[in-house]
Structure 1
Amino acid sequence: MSMNEQCIDYCGIFHTMIKSRLSNFLWSCIVVLFIANCSYAQRYTLKIHTPEQAILSKLSYNTTFQDSLSVYKTLNLLIAELYKQSYLTASFDTVFFVERQAHALLSIGKKYAIIHLQKGNIEDFVIEKAGLRKDFLHNQNIDFQYFISLQEKILTYWENHGYPFAQVKLDSIRLIDNQIFANIDCEKGTYIRFDTLLIEGEGKVKGDFLRNYLKIKQNEPFSQQKVKEAERLLKALPYLKLKKPLEVVFEYDRAFILITLDKIKSSQFDGIVGVLPNQEQKNRVLVTGQVNLNLANLFSTGKKLHLEWQRLRSASQLFNFEYEHPQFLKMNFDINAKLNLLKEDTSFLNIRRNIQFSYQLTPQQKVSFFTDYQTTSVTDGSTNQAAVGQESQRFIRFANTNLLSYGISYELNTLNDFLKPQKGWYIKGQVGTGNKKISPRLGSNPAVDTIFRNIDLNSTQWTLSLSMQKFFYTGKNTSLMLKTVGGAILNNQLFMNELYRLGGLNSIRGFNQNAFYASHYLVNTAEARLYFEETSYLFAFLDYAYLSYQIPTQSFQDAPLGVGAGISFATKGGVFNFAYAMGVSQFQQFAVNQAKVHFGYVSRF
C-alpha cells in the first residue's frame, strides 16, 4: 500500500454520516471471521443484493473465493470504489452466509457533489505544483473523483519533499441536499530527512558507491519517488539481486533505507589455448586460442574490467580492453575507456581508442558523450603493394587512414529482469562525426597512385548505429524476443579495413565469425525462448540481414539468412551455450554440410 493510500481516509471524512452503517458492517465482518474458522478449506461464492443493480453492474469484482476473509476484502474494495464515484453513504447493511454462499445487502444511496470548495491552509505554490492556478480553489464546483485526484497530487508533492505522513482532508463540512460545502486543509506532519543506507545480505557493495548510484544522500529531504527509483536502479545491476523490496524505517525525524542484497555470479572467464607446430617458421611453435575475462563489481564499487584475446590464425589477432568507472570522483557520471586492436592476416592493422562519459537521466534512461580515435595501417603483405595493371583497379581495397570523431548516444532499458527478461524494451542509438585523413603510400605503383589522386584525402565521416530489443511475455516460462541491429558509415572514400565485421554467434548465426564486410547493415532477429530453470532455456531463432558496401573499385550487397536452435544451460559454475545453425548467402548454400555449431562454456564467479 502506498503512503498516499495510507493518508486517504474516506471514512474519516464522513464519519458522522455513516457511523451507524459502518458499525453494522463491522459486526457482519466478525460473523464472517467466525464462519471462516469453521469452514476454512471450503470455497465461497458471493451474491450481492441491492435495488441499485444498474450501478453495481458497472463495478468489477470477484465472485468466488478461497476463504471468507477474501470475501470481506472484496466488499471493502467495493465500498472504496463507490466512495470514489461520489456515493459517499454506500455501505453493506448485512452480510450473512448460507452454507458456502455469502449474501451481502448493499445500500448505495445518493451521489454527492463537492461544491464551494475553499483552499483552506494549503500554500499557493503547492496548488501550482499540482497543476492548478492559484485562484482555482475559490468556490469551485468539483466532483468527489476530482477531489481524490487533487488530494493525490498534493500528497505526492509533499511525500517527495520531506513530508511522507502528510494528510489532505476536508474540514468544516456542511451537507445541504446533495451538495457538500467544505475547506480543503493539509496537515504536513513531521519533516523527515534521509539518514544512512542499511545494507544487508550476501551482496557486497560499498555504501558510498550505492548512495551516489541511488542518488540518496544523507540529510536530504525524504522522497518517496527516490525510494521507488532506487528499486528500479538496483534491479538494473547485473552483479546484485534485490532479495526483497526496500524497507523504509522511520525513527524520529529520520528515514533509514533497509536494502537486502544477494550476490549474482556475474564475473566471467572462459578460454582455450593451443600450441601447434609453426608451418611458416621451422623449429618454432604457434600459440593459438581465445581468452575472455569479465570482472564485475571490482572492490565492491561497481567498477568493471573486460579483457579479450583471440588468435585463430597464425597472422591474425584480436585484442579488446574495456574499463568502466561508475560515479567518477563521486560525481553523477560514469567514465568508460576502450581499446580495440585487430590484425587481419597480412593485410592491415586497426587500432581504436574510445573514451565515453555517461549520465543517468532516469533509472531507465542514460545519455553518453564520447570521443573516438581510429587508425588503420596497411601492412606490407597487402594486395595494394602487389597490384599491377588492371588488377590494381579491382583489388585496391586497403588504405592508411585515421579518424578522430565525437558523438552522443542514448540508452533506454525497461526490461523487467536482467537475467530473465520476458517483457520490456532495450534501445540504444548512437551518432558520431569526425574528420578522416587518408595517407596513401605513393610511388610504388602508378595505377594505384592514379586512384588515390582522384579521391578526397580529407573528408567528414558520419557513423550511425541503432539497437532495439523487445521482449514479449507469452507465458509463465516462455518469451519472444524481437531484435533489430543496424549501422551505417557515411563517407564516399571507404576501404575494406574500415568496414563493420559481421557473422558468427553474436550477429548472424549460421556463418563463420566475421565472415562479412559492410558499410551499411541491418540484422533482424526473432527468437523464442522456453525457460526450464530461472536462467536456463531452450531457444529457436531466425536471423535475417541486409548488408552492403562500396569502396573506390568494388561494391557488394547481400541478404544472408540464418536459422537454428540451441540451449543455454546454467550450472553452479557457469553457463553452457550450444547453438546449431544453418545459413544461406551468395557464398554459402543452405545445406547440412555447411551448418555451423556455435558452443562455449562461460565460467561465472
Structure 2
Amino acid sequence: MKLSVLVCLFYFFWAGPKAFSQTGFWLKMEDGRSVSSWQSFPSAIQALAKVDSTLSGLQASGFLEAYATEEYLAQDSLLVVLELGNEYLWEDLRTDQVPLALRNKVAPVTSSYADAERWMKGVIRNAENSGFPFAQLKIDSLAREGNRLSGTIVYDSGPIILWDSLAVEGNTSTKINYLQQLTGIKAGEPFSQNQLEVAEQILRRSPYFRLVAPAALSFQIKKAKPTFTLSDRNTNVFDGVIGFLPNENEPGKMLITGQLDLQLYHLGGRGRDISVNWQRLNVQSQSLELAAKESFVFNSPLDVMLEFSLLKQDSTFLNRYLGLDFGYHAGERSYLRFFTKRQSGDLLSSSGMDTVSVLPDVADFRWNQYGLGWEWDALDFPYFPRRGTKINVQVSIGNKKILENTGIPSDVYGGLDLNTPQYAGWASVETHVFVSQNWGMWFRGSGGLIENENLLLNDLYRIGGLKSIRGFNEKFFFARSYAYVNAEQRLFFGENSYLLAFADFGILENPFFVSAIDRPVSFGAGINLDTGSGVFSFIYGVGKSNLQTLQFSHSKIHFGYLARF
C-alpha cells in the first residue's frame, strides 16, 4: 500500500507535469466541406502558421474570398472555421502578349484559377532559364462578372543576363577551368536558373570535393557571377590487404597473399587521376594494373585515360593489354566511353607440347579491340552510399590473331583460321536500399560473355574474390560467360561503419573444364569500420563450387586498412 502511494506521488509531482507539458497546442479546422481531426503542434505559433498556409492554398486554388474565424476553446486549444466564399474561374485570360517561345513550352491555360497560376509560374521559369531572371507577369484590364474573371497577361522580360566567370572559395585546390567544364556554366552564355541548380547537384555528388553551401549569386551590369564554396574530400587511397589461404602445395601450412592499391585523385585540382594496383594471387601468380586519367583535355568535353594491365598466371601464360579510353559527360548522371585496346597473351612454357595434334587450351595471341561503354550513376554519395542505383555496360569487338609458337608442331595451325573476329561484353547493376537509420541493404548483379571461333583459356574472364564472388581466391574462376548476384545486409553503427552478412550466387561456363557449367555459392560476414582517417575491413567467407568443396578449412579471410588522405 505504501509503495502504491509513493508511485502515485512520484507521478503527480514529477512525471505527471512533464507528461502534460508535452501535449503542446491543439488545432482543429472546419471549412464546411470537411472537418479535420484535432492536430497537435509544439506551439501556438506553428498552429497559426498551419492556418495561414491552408488559407493561402485555398486562395491559390480560386477561393479568393476565403477567410478564417478563430475560437479559443482553452488556453491550448483553437477551433478554426474557414469560410470559403465563391470559387472564381477565368472566363477569358488573354496570353498573346507573352512571347510565343515561352508559351509553347507550357501546357495551355484552362479556366481553373489554380491552372492559370501554374501556367504563369511555368512561363517565368522558362524566362529564367533563357537569360531573363527578372522577368515579370502581371494581369491588366482585370474584370469580373459574378465569379467569372477576364483579363490580359502582360509580360516584362527585364534585362538579359549573361553568365560571368565562376568564382571558387573554400578549402579546395579545384581550378576554375575544371569547374566550368564540369558544370557547363561558361562566361558569355545566357543565364539559366535550371543550369545553376543542376550544377549544384553535380558538385554535391563529386568524389573530389564537397559543396559546403548553396551557390552564392551576384548580379552586376547584366552579368551573373556564381560563387561555389567547396571543401576537398580525402579521396586519395592507400590500401594494403593481406590474405591467409590454405597452401595447396604444402598441406597444413598457410599461404600469405597481398594487394597494394594506390589511387591519387584530382591532382592539381584538374580532375587528374593516377592509380596503381598490384596483387599476388598465389606463389607464382601476380597482377599489375596502371591507369592515368586527364579530365577535359584542352578544355574540351572529353576525358582521356591510358591503361596498362599485366597478369602472370603461374608458369602457364602471361597476359598484357594497353588501352586508350575517351570519356564524355553525356548528362548529369550519364557518362559515355569510347575505347581501343590491344591485348596479348603468351605462353611462358611450351614444355611437353611438341607432340600435340590440336591447339592447346593456352596459346599465343594478339587481339585489337574497339568498344563502347556507358555508365549511369544515381547513387546519393560517391563513397559508402545509402540509396541509389548504378549501371555499367561495356561491349567491344575486334580481330584476334593466333601466333604460331615454335614449341608447338606447325601442323596444329594448318587447319585453323588464324585471324577471326572476337567480341565481348559485360554489364553490372548495383542498388542500395536504406531501410531505416541503422539498416541498409546492397544488391549487385553482374554478367559477361566473350565469343570467338578459336577461344583460348587465357582469353576468358577472371572472376572470384573480394570484388565479385567472395569465399574464393582472387580471380579463381575462368569463365566464357558468367552471371552472379551479391546480396548484403548492413547494420550501421556509424556514418560509414557497419556489420555485414552476405550471400553470393553465380553461374558460369568454362568450356575447358570437364564440367563446363559451375554454380558457385558463398556466404559470410564481416565488419567495415571508419576510423576517421581510413577504413578498416575484415571479411570472412566460405564458398562451394565444382572446384572447391564447402569446408571451413577452405574459408577465406581478408582484412586490410584503406587509408584516405
TM-score by length of 1: 0.82
> What letter is aligned with 1:597?
I
The structure 2 residue matched to 1:64, chosen from 27, 30, 40, is 40
Corresponding residue for residue 103 of structure 1: 79
Mapped to 2, the partners of 1:302 and 1:481 lie a distance apart of: 28
Q: How does 1:420-569 map to 2 (within 5 A)?
A: 420-441=384-405, 444-445=408-409, 449-450=411-412, 452-550=413-511, 556-569=516-529
Contact 1:235–1:418 (CA under 8 A) maintained in structure 2:
no
Mapped to 1, the partners of 2:549 and 2:357 lie a distance apart of: 30
Corresponding residue for residue 192 of structure 1: 161
> What letter is aligned with 2:372?
I
Distance 1:387 1:244, change over 3 A: same
Can you list the C-alpha shifts for 1:452-490, whole angstroms capped at 9, x where unaligned? 434432211111111101111201232111110111112
Contact 2:131–2:162 (CA under 8 A) maintained in structure 1:
yes
> What letter is aligned with 2:526?
G
Q: CA RMSD of the aligned region, Å?
A: 2.7
Mapped to 2, the partners of 1:494 and 1:205 lie a distance apart of: 47
Mapped to 1, the partners of 2:73 and 2:177 lie a distance apart of: 58
Alpha-carbon offset, residue 66 of structure 1: 1.3
The structure 2 residue matched to 1:405, chosen from 359, 369, 387, is 369
The structure 1 residue matched to 2:352, chosen from 386, 392, 399, is 386
For 1:565, what is the secondary structure of its paired residue?
strand
User: Which sections of structure 2, spanning at least 5 residues, go unmatched?
Assistant: 1-19, 244-255
Contact 1:360–1:366 (CA under 8 A) maintained in structure 2:
yes
Distance 1:417 1:102, change over 3 A: farther
Alpha-carbon offset, residue 331 of structure 1: 0.9
For 1:550, what is the secondary structure of its paired residue?
coil
TM-score by length of 2: 0.88
> What letter is aligned with 2:454?
Q
Corresponding residue for residue 3 of structure 2: none
Corresponding residue for residue 48 of structure 1: 29
Mapped to 1, the partners of 2:471 and 2:542 lie a distance apart of: 5
Contact 1:370–1:408 (CA under 8 A) maintained in structure 2:
yes
Distance 1:172 1:47, change over 3 A: same
Can you list the C-alpha shifts for 1:536-569, whole angstroms capped at 9, x where unaligned? 2211111111111225x96622010111111111
Contact 1:163–1:188 (CA under 8 A) maintained in structure 2:
yes
For 1:593, what is the secondary structure of its paired residue?
helix
> What letter is aligned with 1:572?
G
The structure 2 residue matched to 1:234, chosen from 188, 203, 220, is 203
Alpha-carbon offset, residue 167 of structure 1: 2.5
Can you list the C-alpha shifts for 1:417-460, whole angstroms capped at 9, x where unaligned? 222312211011111111111123267447xx34x434432211
Distance 1:556 1:166, change over 3 A: same
Corresponding residue for residue 284 of structure 1: none
- Give the stretch that moved more between structures: 195-204 or 108-117: 195-204
Alpha-carbon offset, residue 358 of structure 1: 1.4
Alpha-carbon offset, residue 320 of structure 1: 0.8
For 1:525, what is the secondary structure of its paired residue?
strand
Corresponding residue for residue 81 of structure 1: 57
Corresponding residue for residue 546 of structure 2: 586
For 1:78, what is the secondary structure of its paired residue?
helix
For 1:163, what is the secondary structure of its paired residue?
coil
Contact 1:194–1:221 (CA under 8 A) maintained in structure 2:
yes
Alpha-carbon offset, residue 155 of structure 1: 1.5
For 1:154, what is the secondary structure of its paired residue?
helix
> What letter is aligned with 1:591?
Q
Q: Does 1:207 align with 2:188?
A: no
> What letter is aligned with 2:464?
G
Contact 2:173–2:268 (CA under 8 A) maintained in structure 1:
no
Mapped to 1, the partners of 2:471 and 2:47 lie a distance apart of: 57
Corresponding residue for residue 152 of structure 1: 121
Distance 1:598 1:248, change over 3 A: same
For 2:165, what is the secondary structure of its paired residue?
strand
The structure 2 residue matched to 1:161, chosen from 130, 147, 160, is 130
Alpha-carbon offset, residue 62 of structure 1: 9.0
Q: How does 1:138-287 map to 2 (within 5 A)?
A: 141-251=110-220, 253-271=222-240
Contact 1:315–1:345 (CA under 8 A) maintained in structure 2:
yes
Corresponding residue for residue 601 of structure 1: 561
Corresponding residue for residue 279 of structure 1: none
Mapped to 1, the partners of 2:218 and 2:444 lie a distance apart of: 42
The structure 2 residue matched to 1:119, chosen from 95, 111, 114, is 95
Can you list the C-alpha shifts for 1:198-256, whole angstroms capped at 9, x where unaligned? 32222321112111111111232211111111122112221211223333334453323
The structure 1 residue matched to 2:531, chosen from 565, 571, 574, is 571
Alpha-carbon offset, residue 336 of structure 1: 1.4
Alpha-carbon offset, residue 311 of structure 1: 3.7
Q: Does 1:306 align with 2:271?
A: no
Contact 2:23–2:40 (CA under 8 A) maintained in structure 1:
no
Determine which structure has the larger helix proportion and give its number. Answer: 1
Distance 1:511 1:443, change over 3 A: closer
Identity of aligned residues (%): 31
Distance 1:444 1:301, change over 3 A: closer
Alpha-carbon offset, residue 529 of structure 1: 1.5
Mapped to 2, the partners of 1:71 and 1:437 lie a distance apart of: 78
Mapped to 1, the partners of 2:93 and 2:38 lie a distance apart of: 36
Mapped to 2, the partners of 1:514 and 1:419 lie a distance apart of: 25
Mapped to 1, the partners of 2:267 and 2:47 lie a distance apart of: 52
Contact 1:52–1:108 (CA under 8 A) maintained in structure 2:
no
> What letter is aligned with 2:403?
S
Distance 1:313 1:425, change over 3 A: closer
Count of residues in Structure 1 that have an aligned counterpart in Structure 2? 534
The structure 2 residue matched to 1:376, chosen from 339, 345, 353, is 345
